[in-house]
A and B are shown apart, each in its own frame.
Chain A
Amino acid sequence: MYPENYRYTKEHEWVRVEGNIATVGITHHAQEELGDIVYADLPKLGANVEQGKTMGSVESVKAVSDIFSPLSGEVMEVNELLATKPEKLNEDPHGEAWLVKIRVTAPSEIEALLSAADYQAYVGAE
């Protein structure tokens, strides 16, 4: 369910790091809890985000939830697809529906994030 090469937060974001670029999304568990997602409010291109701080929000028919940045860095790319197809967040949260790509400024921060196995255990217990 949860890709081995991703790292995870307790706030249910995932991150995939390639070189100094980190792709960020919300987890399958997050989309399941939220229900039908209708809108994603994402940071602007060039915005600086900070690990553990709010960088945007996702809205479902039930609730609005903050997205916390898993790593610090600068937003290099924003997933335009979500503006017209927010349902992708329900359909493919670990793939097509990534949220943003960040240029990582503090690579060592990744040590604080959960592995796939840890995250699976965490949501299993929740």
Chain B
Amino acid sequence: MIKKVRPHPTQNEPLLFEISSPGKMGYQLPDLDVPSLDPIAALGAENTRSEIEDFPEVSEVDAIRHFTRLSTWNYAIDLGLYPLGSCSMKYNPRVNEAVARTDGLAWIHPYQPDSRSQGAMEITATLEAALAEITGMDAVTLQPAAGAQGEFTGLLLVRAWLQSLGNARRRVLVPDSAHGTNPATVHMAGYEVAHIASNARGMVDTAALERMVDQDVAALMLTNPNTVGVFEEQIGDIARILHAKDALLYMDGANMNALVGIARPGDFGVDVMHLNLHKTFSTPHGGGGPGSGPVAVKKFLEPFLPLPRLKRTDDGWRWDYDRPQSIGRVRAFYGNFGVLVRALAYIMAHGGDGLKRATLDALLNANYLRKLLEGCYEIAYDAPSMHECVFTDRRQAARGAPTGAIAKRLIDYGFHPYTVSFPLIVHGALMIEPTETESKLELDLFAEAMIDIANEIENDPKLVLKAPHSTRIAKVDEVAAARRPILKWRPPT
């Protein structure tokens, strides 16, 4: 047997509990400079203890090494392809970081007087204008801290506008392909959810929509391109059907990276929408980001936008709080400012032509993968793919290897899994979004891995079902973990 001080970083790591050694500690306290008290005499024996049972005792360097080794296990976009669909895990260009770390931006304080914050306010105003131009909308608030809060803000705007006309209405329509946050937002904003079924092409069924829109419907929340990566071709009709009954069209901008520079929601009838700066505009995503979910609106909704609004005066920028119809604040201060800086850096580094090219590359990459994989995996909908392609596992599941097993096997090939089992309207979905970030070589190797796995399923499905084979920990029992989670370490008996 090999004796080791500790495992190599490529091997599994014990818990701190398991490396505990009585008496070790990571701190030193100075001698008391006051008379010491006997805790038992002072507090009573029932309120004191000499040790915490099973509490791990380690030195500072033990703890540092433990957590540093764990930190090397993270998979990230900086390590390789991250093909999660509907989430646009794209590369975060380092120029964004360089700009955001400029002293004047990194150290600015929100309580600085307006006169000392003109640069930051100019950045905010420039980003608002850029996002308005990209979306074809009239006004933008940068306050919401993430996409879901953007949705919530957007629906509060819808409610405030309808209320100003005398009736806030009762229902919001949500397609069955929607992100789960949409129906949750509807509830949060005090509306009832009415689900609307997709047609055989994966799009909103406009005949069903026409039947459902009445004087009780406040809005439709639509993601476009939708979660199966398909552009809602009837979007113009959808907007007309809603507007004929004074209902509004809300667009979830989660997939806006498929449209930037090519089509503008404001031009196809959208009244209010949110963007995810951490998806479309390359700011950090995951691990707490933080996110940012600006909301863009048409002119008639502008008076309702959150407080405060930027106002240009003869003395430069001012925050305007005199907005009687505003829904009020949705977040402290002015949004996640550091993220706003990064998004503007991305937009300006690309320019209009560059943004358009990034979009086209994202579409090209997704369609390239679709073509390479179509022979092995069944595409869910015939309609043209935009920035992501969605397959069903029908062929592979029939051999006993469903989408989750294919995803696990992909880990053995060195790739992060794609999105598994979403959207729910696709049976056994494999959703793949390469983004514009990836080179042809990377895409070819990914496709090769997927094709190899499809062949493995034909010849030896067990090999795939038992994957991953090359990881520190073999396949975990997710079902048992969810049914009977072990939330507390216990000493081995």
Scan residues 53-76 of chain A and give those whose CB is less than 8 A from a CB of chain B. 59, 61-63
Q: How far is the CB of B484 from chain A (nearest CB, A)?
A: 9
Q: How far is the CB of B178 from chain A (nearest CB, A)?
A: 13
Q: Is B37 an interface residue (CB 8 A)?
A: no
Of A59, A61, A63, A87, most B-chain CB atoms within 10 Å: A61
Residue of B nearest to A90 (CB): B479
Q: Which residues of A contact B404 (CB under 8 A)?
A: 61
Residue of B nearest to A63 (CB): B424
Q: Is A39 an interface residue (CB 8 A)?
A: yes
Residue of B nearest to A39 (CB): B482
How many angstroms from the CA of A86 to the CA of B485 in the assembled complex? 13
Q: Is B20 an interface residue (CB 8 A)?
A: no
Of B404, B421, B483, most A-chain CB atoms within 10 Å: B483
How many angstroms from the CA of A39 to the CA of B478 in the assembled complex? 13
Q: Is the Cβ of B483 less than 8 Å from the Cβ of A87?
A: yes
Q: Is A99 an interface residue (CB 8 A)?
A: no
Residue of A nearest to B421 (CB): A62
Q: Which residues of A contact B421 (CB under 8 A)?
A: 62-63
Q: Which residues of B contact A62 (CB under 8 A)?
A: 421, 424
Q: Is the Cβ of B424 less than 8 Å from the Cβ of A61?
A: no
How many angstroms from the CA of A36 to the CA of B424 in the assembled complex? 15
Q: Is the Cβ of B424 less than 8 Å from the Cβ of A38?
A: no
Type the 1/0 row for A19-36, where 1 means its CB is closer than 8 Å to any CB of B: 000000000000000001
How many angstroms from the CA of A6 to the CA of B421 in the assembled complex? 31
Q: How far is the CB of A88 from chain B (nearest CB, A)?
A: 11
Type the 1/0 row for B467-484, where 1 means its CB is closer than 8 Å to any CB of A: 000000000001100110
Q: Which residues of B contact A61 (CB under 8 A)?
A: 404, 478-479, 482
Q: Is the Cβ of A86 less than 8 Å from the Cβ of B424?
A: no
Scan residues 31-52 of chain A and give those whose CB is less than 8 A from a CB of chain B. 36, 38-39
Q: Which residues of A contact B483 (CB under 8 A)?
A: 36, 38-39, 86-87
Q: Which residues of A contact B478 (CB under 8 A)?
A: 61
How many angstroms from the CA of A87 to the CA of B482 in the assembled complex? 11
How many angstroms from the CA of A87 to the CA of B404 in the assembled complex? 19
How many angstroms from the CA of A86 to the CA of B478 in the assembled complex? 14
How many angstroms from the CA of A86 to the CA of B479 in the assembled complex? 11
How many angstroms from the CA of A63 to the CA of B482 in the assembled complex? 12
How many angstroms from the CA of A91 to the CA of B488 in the assembled complex? 29
Q: How far is the CB of A125 from chain B (nearest CB, A)?
A: 14
Q: How far is the CB of B397 from chain A (nearest CB, A)?
A: 11
How many angstroms from the CA of A7 to the CA of B424 in the assembled complex? 26
Q: Which residues of B contact A59 (CB under 8 A)?
A: 482
